[in-house]
Structure 1
Amino acid sequence: MDVLPTQTLPTPIPIPTTLVQSDRCNRRPSRPSGSNPGRKNKKSKNHSHSFNATKDLGRWKPADDLALITGVQQTNDLRMVHRGTKFSCRFTLQEIQQRWYALLYDSAVSRVAVQAMRNLHPELIATIQARTLYSKAEEDLLGTIKSTSQPTLEVFQELLEANAHTFYPARTAKALHSHWQLMKQYHLLPDQTVQSLPRGEHVLSFSDAEDMINDTELMEPKDELVDTELATADRKNKKEIKVLENELGRWQISVGRSTKDHTVDVDLGLEGPAWKVSRRQGTIRLRNNGDFFLSSEGKRPIFVDSRPILAGNKMKLNNNSVIEIAGLRFTFLINQELISVIRQEAVKLNLNP
C-alpha cells in the first residue's frame, strides 16, 4: 500500500531515556506465581487491537478505504479529501484523519483493510478510481486548453497520451472532457476572469428596477363582456343577501293541524290520521349559525331518528333525519348551499346564534 511522502506525515514522538531508566529502577521484582501477568497484558493488548480493527472496519467499508487512499495520493490534503470524496456514510474530518493514521501506523488495522480491499470486485475498484479527485498537476494540464475553444475527445486523448505519467491511470478522454467542462462552468480555467460587481452610487438596486417598470404595460386589456357578467352576478348576490337579511330573524315554520280559526305552515291534517295530530304539534326553527331545531308542543311525542321528543323539549335536526308524527314519517332535507350563505351573512352582521 502506498503512503504519503515523509514530509507530510507527523514524526513519532521519541520516548525520553530518563523516563525508561527511572521506570526500570523503581520496578519491583514480581512475585512468583503460576501465571505470567506480562503475558496476559500482551495478550489483552493484541486482543484490543484486533477488536478495534474489526470495529473500525465495520463502519469503514473497503471501498471507503480505497477512496481515501487514492484521494490522499492525488491531493496530499485530507481536508480536500473530506470535501470532495463521497464515502458510503458521512465522516467528519477528525474521523478521516484518525482512519488515515490508523492505516499508516496500526498494523492490525492496515492488515485487515488491505485484505478487504483485495477482495473488492474489479468493476467496483475501477469505479472508485474513476471518481478519484484531480490533482493540481492534472488541472494545470487541463487549463492549457482555452475556454474559448470547442475541444473534442480527440484533443483530450492526445493530452492524455502525451502526459500519461501525470494523469491518474484510470483517467479517460471522456472523464477529462467532463472535468474540463466543470472547470469552465465555474470559471476555474486560467484564461477566465470573474467580473467584479460595480461599485459606486450608480449601482441599480432591485427597488429601483421595480420603480422603472411601467405598470400600464403589465395590465391586460379589459373585456367588456366579462365585466358585464361580473356586474350582473354581483347585483344578483346583493339582492339575495338583502332578502336573507330581511328574513333572517323570522325563519321558523309551524307543524300541526289547521282549523278554521288556526292555521299552520305544514298541515298534517291532509295526511293520515288527522285526529291524532295536535293543532300545533311542533315548530322547526333555524338559528343564525345554520342549525335546525325541532321543538315538540303537542300532546303526543315526536320521534326524530327513533328518539322521542316530549312536549316542551327540542332536538337538533340533521340532514336526512327521519321525523315521525302520529305514524307519519318524513325525511328532513337541508339545502347546504343556502345554509352556507346564511352562516356567512350571520358572521358579517355579528348575529348571535
Structure 2
Amino acid sequence: MSVKRQHYVPRVYLKNWETRVSSKSEPRKYFQGIYYYEKDDLGTGDGKNKNSVLWESRLYNIDYELSFIIPSCPIIEEDYIAQIDAKLTSRGVDAYFNGEVLKDKESLKQHFFKLDEWEFRHKEPPMNLAKRQATLSDIKSIHSYTLEDALDDVVEKKWQPILDDFIHQMETTVPLNGIDEIRRIDESVVVDLIKMVIFLMCRNPDFDYLGILPKILNIFRKPLKDITGTKNTVDVEDFLQIQQNAAWLRELYNGIFEVPEGYFYTMKTTAQSTFQMILFKTWENQGSFITSDKPAFLHNLLVEATNNNAIYCPLTPDYLVMITKGEKHSLRDVNFRMANNGLIKKFNRMILSHANKAIVSDYKHLGYLL
C-alpha cells in the first residue's frame, strides 16, 4: 500500500533522537520531536516531527519508466503483471498481441515489453475494439509498492527489537576474562544488527556503490552525448539518472529478498567472516551522538594519521557502532568502549562530514557536540 512520504531514514530509527523540542517559528510551543539542522546552518536546531523530514515521494515505487527492471525482480514482476491483469478485468477487456489473445498472466508477462503493440477488445460483446490509448495509459499508470511494503516488514518492524536485544546483551554480558572490553554475545544478534546497518546505507537515494556507480555511468556519458547531439544533454542526464535509480533499486531488492548476489549479500557475508564491531557508549553528561540523512556510512580516508577507516552508524544519542576489519570469524566478540566529550565530538564531526544536506540531534545547540 502506497504512502506519499517514503522515509529513507526510517522514523523508527529517528524516534531514538526524540526529545522535548520547539520550532524556530513557534519557540514557546513545545512538543515531542527531533532537532533538525541544515548542513549549512548549524546555529540553532529547528524542532520538527520525525514524520516530516528525510523522505521523498514514491521513492521505492516501480513505475512504468522503471519497469524494465522487473524481469530481474520476480516478486515485483509478479505484482506488476497482477496489476495489469486486474486493470484489464476492471475494464472488461482482453489484450491481444499479433492477433492472439493474451489469455493469462504468463502470456501478459511474456509480451509486456511490446505493450505499445497490444490492442484491446471487449469481452462482451466479443471482439469489439476497446479504447486503446485509454487502456494503455491506465496500464502505464501502474506503480508497484513491493519494495516499500517489504521495507516495512524487514526493517521498520524489526529495527527496535533488534537494537534493544543487541544493547541488552552488551550491557549485561560479563567481559571475557572479567577484565577486558570484549563481550561475547549471540552471533545472530550481531548479524541482525549489521543487516540493519547495511539497509540504512542501501536504502538511501544517494547510495552509489561507494562511488563506483557514478564512475561507470560517466564512461557512457560522453558517447551518449556524441550520439544524441549537444542539444539533448538533458535527455542524456535523465537517461543516466534512470539507470542509476534502477541499479540502486535492484540492489535494494536483492537485500530485502535475500538474493545471494550484489552489494548487500557481499557485505553481509564479508562481515560474518572478517569484520568485528566496536560499540561506543557516551559517558554521562559528556554529550550525545548526532545522526544525519546518511545515518550509516563508510569512512575511508588514507590521509588520516590514525586509521579510522570503517563503517559507522549512530544507533541512538548514547550508542554508536563501528564495523571494521578484525580477527576472522570473531563477529560475536564485540568491543565495548566508553566515549568522552572529545571522542563524541570526533565522531560527530565525522558524521557531519558524511551528511548530504542535514543532521539530526537531541540538542538545540551543537557547540558542546561539535
Which band: TM-score by shorter chain?
under 0.3
- Relative to its length, the structure with more strand (as a share) is 2
Larger radius of gyration: 1
Which structure has more relative contact order (CA 8 Å, sep 6+)? It is 2
